Amino acid sequence: MSKENLNLTLKVWRQKGKKDKGGFETYKLKGVSTHASFLEMMDILNEELITTGKDPVAFDHDCREGICGMCSMYINGRAHGPQRGTTTCQLHMRHFEDGETITIEPWRATPFPVIKDLVVDRSAFDKIQQAGGYVSVNTGNAPDGNAVPIPKADADEAFNAAACIGCGACVAACKNASAMLFVSAKVSQFALLPQGQPERKERVGKMVAKMDELGFGNCTNTGACEAECPKGISISNIARMNREYLGAVLAPGN
């Protein structure tokens, strides 16, 4: 029979602010249920810290359903932890061993500066999105589903690309802190659909330029981003983005 409760040692990164020097602090937790989620375990830790008059660990969370992408933690050297295709909030303590030491860090990337403890500023992704990750269409009633025929293969690929939640795990996992998986997913979801065609060339140019401006590194095709992406976004999107970018650069008038 598996053990229902765990005794754990947590090594958690603590940092008061962007300009402060951070470091690891060690905490002991006893009797953590294997049915608890990782964030619930963090809640238990914070309750103990507050009870003893200490500052709780700051960490991002919102939906706790693997949708919003805010639960960005580096757990035992992996973005979102040991389970592939799983966000931190979906990770459960049954995947850890009794007596285990768990190291918890924030994302490590210059464009994602630490705000406090495990919270990082990921507004760089918002800026890339604002640069061109949208379509300019008239608002109003939704068109009939059959009004714009789209091949199923294209619709499926666009849907898969649109599954990106913008958590930043790809950047955290990449040795160059590249954002190309995120940007390529946003470029692909529009490039594959008729609604995205009018601004196709302008979109990829602006988004890539903003990505470079914000200090993200280049892709070296190691595949770490795809391996750690909780939504399984394929690096084939990066190849598509490169084709889109080359086509935009070589287009007449550029």
> What CATH number is associated with residue 40?
3.10.20.30
Interval 106-115: pLDDT, tens: 999 999 999 9
Structure tokens at 224: 């770490």
* Residue 182 maps to a domain: yes
47, 152: one domain: no
94, 187: one domain: no
Collapsing DSSP to helix, strand or coil, 131 comes out as: helix
Q: Kindly tell me if the per-residue pLDDT of 192 is higher than 70.
A: yes
pLDDT at position 131 is 97
pLDDT at position 3 is 78
Q: Mean per-residue pLDDT for 206-225?
A: 96
The last residue of one of the domains, among 59, 94, 115, is: 115
37: DSSP letter: B
Q: Kindly tell me if the per-residue pLDDT of 52 is higher than 80.
A: yes
* Residue 223 maps to a domain: yes
Give the span between the Cα atoms of 172 and 125, in whole angstroms: 13
The last residue of one of the domains, among 100, 115, 130, is: 115
Q: Kindly tell me if the per-residue pLDDT of 171 is higher than 60.
A: yes
195, 210: one domain: yes
Q: Kindly tell me if the per-residue pLDDT of 1 is higher than 50.
A: no
The last residue of one of the domains, among 89, 115, 141, is: 115
Q: Kindly tell me if the per-residue pLDDT of 237 is higher than 70.
A: yes
Question: What is the domain range of residue 165?
Answer: 122-249
81, 130: one domain: no
94, 160: one domain: no
Give the span between the Cα atoms of 164 and 177, in whole angstroms: 17
227, 139: one domain: yes
Q: Mean per-residue pLDDT for 117-145?
A: 89
Share of the chain above pLDDT 90, in %: 88
133, 229: one domain: yes
Q: Kindly tell me if the per-residue pLDDT of 56 is higher than 90.
A: yes
130, 176: one domain: yes
156, 205: one domain: yes
Give the span between the Cα atoms of 214 and 160, in whole angstroms: 26
Distances (CA, A) of 234 to 58, 118, 163: 31, 27, 11
45, 127: one domain: no
Contact between 169 and 81 under an 8 Å Cβ cutoff? The reply is: no
Q: Which long-range contacts (C-beta less than 8 Å, at least 24 apart) are formed by 13-18?
A: 13/104, 13/105, 13/106, 13/117, 13/118, 14/57, 14/117, 15/106, 15/114, 15/116, 15/117, 16/116, 17/115, 17/116, 18/113, 18/114, 18/115, 18/121
> Taking all residues of the chain, what is their mean pLDDT, rounded to a whole number?
94
Place of tokens 């990782």: 38
154, 109: one domain: no
Contact between 243 and 206 under an 8 Å Cβ cutoff? The reply is: no
pLDDT at position 137 is 75
46, 98: one domain: yes
pLDDT at position 166 is 97
Structurally, the chain folds into a number of domains equal to 2
Q: Mean per-residue pLDDT for 53-79?
A: 96
Interval 133-168: pLDDT, tens: 998 877 777 777 678 889 999 999 999 999 999 999
| Domain containing residue 244: CATH number | 1.10.1060.10
Q: Mean per-residue pLDDT for 45-54?
A: 98
Burial class (CB in 10 A: 0-12, 13-18, 19+), 176: middle
pLDDT at position 2 is 52
Contact between 178 and 171 under an 8 Å Cβ cutoff? The reply is: yes
pLDDT at position 78 is 97
* Residue 254 maps to a domain: no
